[in-house]
Structures are given as structure tokens and as C-alpha cells.
Amino acid sequence: MQMKKILTYILTLLFTLFINTNVISEDKNYYQELVSEWNKIFPDRNRNAAGPKFFKHIISKDITYKDFLEFNKLYCAVSGSLINPDAEPEKVYLKEVTTDKNICGDYYRCCIPCSCDVMKYSKVEKMKHKFKDIEKEFYVLTIKNPCGKKYFPKEVNKDYFCDGKNLATDQVVELNNRLVIGLFHEAKLCNKSEIVKIDNHQVTGLFCEFRNNTPLEELQSGMGDIFIKLAR
């Protein structure tokens, strides 16, 4: 009887260790993985407005849809900055390219001005992709192809984005000749109350109204005018 209890205890202990090991192995440190891959994503270490490089790097991985969502919470599509893993998203809305309807969702940003810039200068489109576990359709943030601009912002590495006047699809994701800059989380068609709430929010309403009416040459906060020059 005593031996049976001992064997039961040992088996229980081994099973617990097995379960805990699996849990630990599945608990990926998404942030640390991106940090370790920084030089691969940005060989010259210039991440200015390089959200598209993060998106391309992530969607090219052999990962699950959950992994894809988690990785895309960790960079700002406007600035190209990494974001604290504990950061809360901003509720914003953007126009859909094909329908011109307002699409509401969560935007993970590094600083307040980036929410204003993404709302004013980006539009969303639906994109479909087959992941390791499932095929999913989701909304992405996009801007017009910037590669034909006469005055491409000098702070941004053009080689990251462009092959002549075309988008460099080995470096970034192109969708209907638009540049994908990031993922739009929890995106859906807006209702009136959501738009009113966003328009009256202290950031997406009051601050963004002030920022969006400030002359380009006077912008100091956030990415200043770098992303705007790229996107407008």
C-alpha cells in the first residue's frame, strides 16, 4: 500500500513537471525575439517610419495566427519604434480604401502623436494570409506607394521600401499598390457612438485636432513630419 502511494506521488510529480515544461516552452517572449532580430530587420539600424519592415518580417515567419497578433502589438506602424509589451492600445478609426467606410479598431503606438498621424494619413484594407494553424482575413494599415515621391524624406532609408518607383516586395508587403505599414487590431465597422467617443477623446479628439491643424514645419512631437512626408 505504501509502495502504491509512493508510485502515485512520483507519477503525479512527473506529470506536473511535464505540463509546466510545456507551458513554459509555449510562453514565447515576443518582445525579446524582436529585439534579438533587430539587426536582421534593420541592417543599418535606421527604423524611422519603418513599421512596414516589422510587418514584413513578422508575416514572413512560420508562426500561428496568435503569434502574428502578439508580435504586431510590439511596434509602432508610424514611427518604427518598439513598444512596451504592457502598453495599452488607442481606439481609433480610419477609412477603408475600397468602401470609404469608417473602420474602428485598436492601434498600438509608441507616443500620442502617432495616433493622430495614423488616423489622418493612413487607410485600411482587408488582407488574407495562411498561417501555420489557420487562414485568416484581417485589416491592415496602409499608405500610398511613396516610392515615386520627388521629395522622399531623407531620414527614412528608401532602400527599405523601394525598388525604383515600385515597392520592394522582398522588403515590404504591397497590397493593391499600397504599402502595408502594420496590423489594425480588433478592426470592425464603426457605429455612431464609437466615432463620437473617439472624436471626443482627449487624445484622438482634442489633441489630434490641434496637431492636425499645426503647419507641417512647426511639428515637433512624435515623429515630427517624417511619417507625414512619407505618407501624404
What are the extents of the domains in the chain? Answer: 44-231
Q: Residue 104 is placed in which grid cell? A: 474602428
* % of the chain exceeding 90 in pLDDT: 80
Residue 220, pLDDT > 90, answer: no
Higher pLDDT, 220 or 43: 43
Residue 48 has a pLDDT of 94
Residue 214 has a pLDDT of 87
Higher pLDDT, 152 or 2: 152
Within a 13 Å sphere around the CA of 109, how many CA atoms are in the beta-carbon half?
Answer: 22
Residue 36 has a pLDDT of 96
Mean pLDDT of 158-186: 97
Residue 145 has a pLDDT of 97
Number of neighbours of residue 206 by Cβ within 10 angstroms: 12
Residue 102 has a pLDDT of 98
Which residue is associated with the grid cell 506607394?
145
Task: Assign 223 a pLDDT band (cuts: 50, 70, 90).
Answer: low
Which residue is associated with the grid cell 522622399?
152
Q: Which of 20-29, 48-57, 126-135, 170-179 has the lowest mean pLDDT?
A: 20-29
User: What is the per-residue burial (b if ≥16 Cβ within 10 Å, else e) of 126-157?
Assistant: ebeeebeeeeeebbbbbbbbbbeeeeebeebb
Q: Which amino acid is at 211?
A: R
Task: Assign 19 a pLDDT band (cuts: 50, 70, 90).
Answer: very low
According to DSSP H, which parts of 27-153 are helical? 30-36, 38-41, 51-59, 65-71, 112-121
Within a 13 Å sphere around the CA of 174, how many CA atoms are in the beta-carbon half?
Answer: 16
Contact status, residue 53 vs residue 42, Cβ threshold 8 Å:
yes
Residue 18, pLDDT > 90, answer: no
DSSP-derived secondary structure for 37-50: THHHH-TT---TT-
